[in-house]
Structure 1
Amino acid sequence: MNNFIFQNGTKVYFGKGCVKEYLACLTRKADTILLAYGGGSIKHNGVYDEITGILKEAGKTIVEFSGIMSNPTYAKVQEGAKLARDNHVDMILAVGGGSTMDCCKAVSLAAQYGGDIWDDFWARPGVIDFAPLPLGVVVTVAGTGSECNGGAVITHEEKKIKTGRDYPQLNPSFALMDPTYTYSVPVKQMISGGFDILSHIMETYFSEPNEDNVSDDIMEALMKSVIRNLRASIKNPEDYVARSNLMWDSTMAENRVIKMGKKCDFECHNMEHQLGAYTNCNHGCGLAVLHPVYYRHIYKAGLPKFVRFAQNVWGIAQEGKTDEELALAGIDALADFIKELGLPTTLKELGAEKSQLNEIADSCSISQGSYKTMTHEEILAIFQECYE
């Protein structure tokens, strides 16, 4: 194992009924709460009524911050920060999936900062030497794992840049995770989020070191869990065992545990973020299009790991195959799984225009953790191969 320092400041309350049991206690020090959510689905599935009922019974003043979009923008962050400041908010409660949580992390920073947080913390890494506004989250969608890290992906619409930063100070202080809250998520959204979980794990797995390490062992188990439980959840969306496993898979993928001692790649995420900045496409769908093609570009540089992926995750036997053939069989198994899930397989399906690809490729940042360092020319070639 390589050297590392591990820290996670989020306390997790997991399981059926956890919101009813713990929310009032966790918000006892706050008088005014900024209740943040997305398009309003929580008003149709009973989550909104349950949470506001608990807060009102506890005597809290609720300030609503709604309409957080699937790719949260810097303008939306500024809107939330102004609401928090104008209403002297003591705590933010983000109810939703990764977009809501990411947006609220940025709001918690912007509400307490006098400068431009994009320029000082997202355009480049910054130093947070002050206390952001306290943040708690109620998770309703499994996917990003944002509940147990300080990462926030924000889109600057004017600059056409979508980027993420991870600051430990932005970790939510608590995360309430009731798997039954995910039952009402549309199947397509559940599948997209499930693939995002798998992508997060693969982005870490396919990176150095290659020698035996605990992180890779954990990731192989997690990948098999995501595959198994996503299939079960599609068959029965209210399978509590499957939905609870997927929810914790999502957290484990991004709570920093599996990243210990790993370089991490995330080039596919870099490429998808810029596709999202230009097309506003669904994140998990964009990743599904890119991953198999990207891996066919890099597998020779990380051959031992791709062989291990084929054998230990997909159960493909070596017999009669060279290492290269086995590695490609593992990538093909991934591509077949994407088709099985009904996810898109071309950029054209995501609404990308062929004329945009050159500009999007040039805007992508280059990962230093990849087995093979990309160039903008090769990124463009990947986009072109993915187009139709």
Structure 2
Amino acid sequence: MNNFIFENSSKVYFGEGCVKEYLSNILSAYGDTVMLCYGGGSIKKNGIYDEVITVLKKENKAVVEFSGIPSNPTYSKVLEGVKLAKESNADLILAVGGGSVMDCCKAISLGAKYDGDIWSDFWARPGVIDFEPLPLGIIVTVSGTGSECNGGAVITNEELKIKTGKDYPQHNAKFVMLDSTYTYSVPEFQMVSGAFDTLSHIMEIYFSEPNESNVSDDISEALMKNVITNLRAAIKNPEDYTARSNLMWDATMAENRIIKLGKKTDFECHQMEHQLGAYTNCNHGAGLAVLHPVYYRHICKAGEKKFAQFAVNVWGISKDGKTDEELAKAGVEALADFIKEIGMPTTFKELGIDENINLKEIADSCGIVPGAYKKMTHEEILKIFEECK
């Protein structure tokens, strides 16, 4: 194992009924005004809004609502939220939703206590947070990103056409509530997309050095198998509590920093998808589903032993009579077959991306990460994009 420092300050309340059971007591630690943040309003249709509002009113909290957070949160929306948080003197931000709502609210919590330009000071480059952001609590209603238990926030600057994330420990939510029954009303495509995002996060960490035996890789293999098994079960029965609760915890485990310990991590595929999303606003998990097999065909030779291990330990492919190269390729194709099986798109066309989009411009805008098995160039990224059409 490589050296590491581990930190995670978020307190997690997991299980059916956790909001009703614990939220009242949690709120007593904060002031009178709660800024309730959510997305397009689905929580008002599925009963979650009423459940949360009932608790807030019971505790005599003044509620300031901030809605309409988009699926790819924008910097302009962040600034809108910062303005409201400051004007209302909010004591707590309560984010109710999926990764987009969580990420937007992390940025708002920072901006609410900062007078400078948070994009230039904390997203355009790594910054130093030497102050306490506005406290944040999270109630998860869409599982997948794992953003609930880390300080990461991915924001799109529409003017610059840059979608990027930064992870600061000070961004971590004070408390997180995970009730998988809150995810039952999520449409199947969104549920599958979120679960694939979870699988993608784990693969991005797994396919990186060190290659020697290490705890993080062993946990990652178990998590990947768990996602695959439970996603299949959830597709068959969307209200399978065991499957949905496992997928919810898989998402958290993928991004609560535990499996990153001692790992370089890759995340080049995420870099590519982020810029694709910045230009096209495509669904994040679906974009990753299109990109991953193509990207892995480009790099599996460079990480041959790990890809062979992936084939055997995750997909159960027999070693008999196969070279590492053959196993590595078989593992990538097993992933590609699984993507088709779960109904995710496999081409840009299926993703709804216009064939006239300037792929070179997008490729040239992608960041090049240091931890990948094979260092990408903008020319090779363009080739990957062309092969995805």
Would you say same fold, with TM above 0.5? Answer: yes
2:64 is aligned to: 63
Matched, 1:10 2:5: no
Q: Larger deviation: 152-161 or 345-354? A: 345-354
Aligned positions, number: 387
Match of 1:43 in 2: 44
Distance 1:355 1:17, change over 3 A: closer
Q: Counterpart of 1:308 in structure 2: which amino acid? A: Q
1:143 alignment counterpart: 144
Q: State the 1:27 CA deviation.
A: 1.4
Following TM superposition, by how much is the alpha carbon of 1:102 offset from its aligned partner in structure 2, in angstroms? 0.2
Could you tell me which amino acid in structure 2 is paired with residue 4 of structure 1?
Answer: F
Match of 2:26 in 1: 26
Written as runs of structure 1 = structure 2, the 5 A alignment for 1:183-202 is: 183-202=184-203
**Counterpart secondary structure, 2:36:** strand
Moved more, 214-223 or 322-331: 322-331
Residue of structure 1 equivalent to 2:379: 377
Q: Distance in 2 between matches of 1:309 and 1:354?
A: 36
> 2:81 matched to 1:80?
yes
| Separation in 2, partners of 1:356, 1:151 | 29
Q: Determine the C-alpha separation between the residues in 2 that align with 1:169 and 1:250.
A: 21
* Paired position in structure 2 for 1:304: 305
Question: Offset at 1:21?
Answer: 0.8
Q: Deviations over 1:203-233 (max 9, x none)?
A: 0000000000000000000000000000000
How far off is 1:323 after superposition? 1.2
Q: Does 1:268 align with 2:269?
A: yes
SS of the residue aligned with 1:93?
A: strand
Kept in 2, the 8 Å contact 1:192–1:343? The answer is: yes
Shift in Å, 1:30: 2.1
Give the Cα–Cα distance (whole angstroms) in 2 for the partners of residues 235 and 376 of structure 1: 40
Deviations 1:59-88 (A, max 9, x none): 000000000000000000000000100011
Q: Secondary structure of 1:301's match?
A: coil
CA distance in 2 between counterparts of 1:65 and 1:26 reads 21
**Alpha-carbon shift at residue 350 of structure 1 (Å):** 2.3
Alpha-carbon deviation of 1:351?
3.1
Match of 1:125 in 2: 126
**Offset of residue 320 of structure 1:** 2.1
Q: For residues 92-111 of structure 1, what are the structure 2 equivalents within 5 Å?
A: 92-111=93-112
**Paired residue type of 2:13:** Y
User: 1: distance between equivalents of 2:272 and 2:229?
Assistant: 27
User: Which amino acid is the alignment partner of residue 301 of structure 2?
Assistant: K
Cα distance in 1 for partners of 2:357, 2:192 equals 29
Letter in 2 for 1:229: N
Q: Deviations over 1:103-142 (max 9, x none)?
A: 0000000111101100000000000011100000000111
Within 2, Cα distance between the matches of 1:13 and 1:201? 23
Aligned equivalents of 2:349, 2:70: Cα separation in 1:
22
Deviation digits for residues 148-171 of structure 1, max 9, x if unmatched? 000000000010000000000000
Residue 340, structure 1, aligned to residue 341, structure 2: yes
Counterpart secondary structure, 1:39: coil
Please identify, of 345-354 and 114-123, the stretch whose mean Cα deviation from structure 2 is larger. 345-354
Unmatched 5+ stretches in structure 2: none
In the aligned structure 2, how far is the partner of 1:128 from the partner of 1:27? 25
Looking at structure 1, the residues matched to 41 and 229 of structure 2 have their Cα atoms a distance apart, in angstroms, of 30
Query: Which one is further off, 354-363 or 203-212?
Result: 354-363
- Quick check: 1:357–1:380 contact (8 Å CA) kept in 2? yes
What's 1:52 paired with?
53
Partner of 2:316: 315
Report % sequence identity: 74
Amino acid at match of 1:356: N
SS in 2 for 1:207: coil
What CA RMSD, in Å, does the superposition of the two structures yield over aligned residues? 0.6
1:261-280 deviations in whole A, cap 9, x for unaligned? 00000000000000000000
* Contact 1:230/1:246 (8 A) holds in 2: yes
Letter in 1 for 2:67: S
Residue in structure 1 matched with residue 282 of structure 2 by the alignment: 281
Report which stretch shifted further, 317-326 or 72-81. Answer: 317-326
Deviation per CA, 1:314-366, whole angstroms, max 9, x where unpaired? 00011122211111110000000000011001112223344410000000000
Residue pair 1:208, 1:263 contacting (<8 A) in 2 also: yes
* Secondary structure in structure 2 of the residue aligned to 1:172: coil
Whole-angstrom distance in 1 between the partners of 2:25 and 2:135: 15
In structure 2, C-alpha distance between the alignment counterparts of 1:235 and 1:356, rounded to whole Å: 39
Shift of 1:174: 0.4
Partner amino acid, structure 2, of 1:27: L
Instruction: Give SS of 1:258's match.
Output: helix
CA distance in 2, matches of 1:143, 1:292: 19
Give the conservation status (yes or no) of the 8 Å contact 1:101–1:146: yes
Distance 2:266 2:176 in 1: 27
Tell me: CA distance 1:39–1:355, structure 2 relative to 1, closer, same or farther (3 Å).
closer
Secondary structure (helix, strand or coil) at the match of 1:221 reads helix
Q: Distance in 1 between matches of 2:93 and 2:12?
A: 17
Residues 288 and 343 in structure 1, CA contact (< 8 A), matched pair in contact too:
yes
Structure 2 match to 1:89: 90
Q: Distance in 1 between matches of 2:113 and 2:349?
A: 41
Q: Do the aligned residues in 2 keep the contact of 1:279 with 1:351 (CA within 8 Å)? A: no
Shift of 1:184: 0.6
Contact 1:72–1:154 under 8 Å retained in 2:
yes
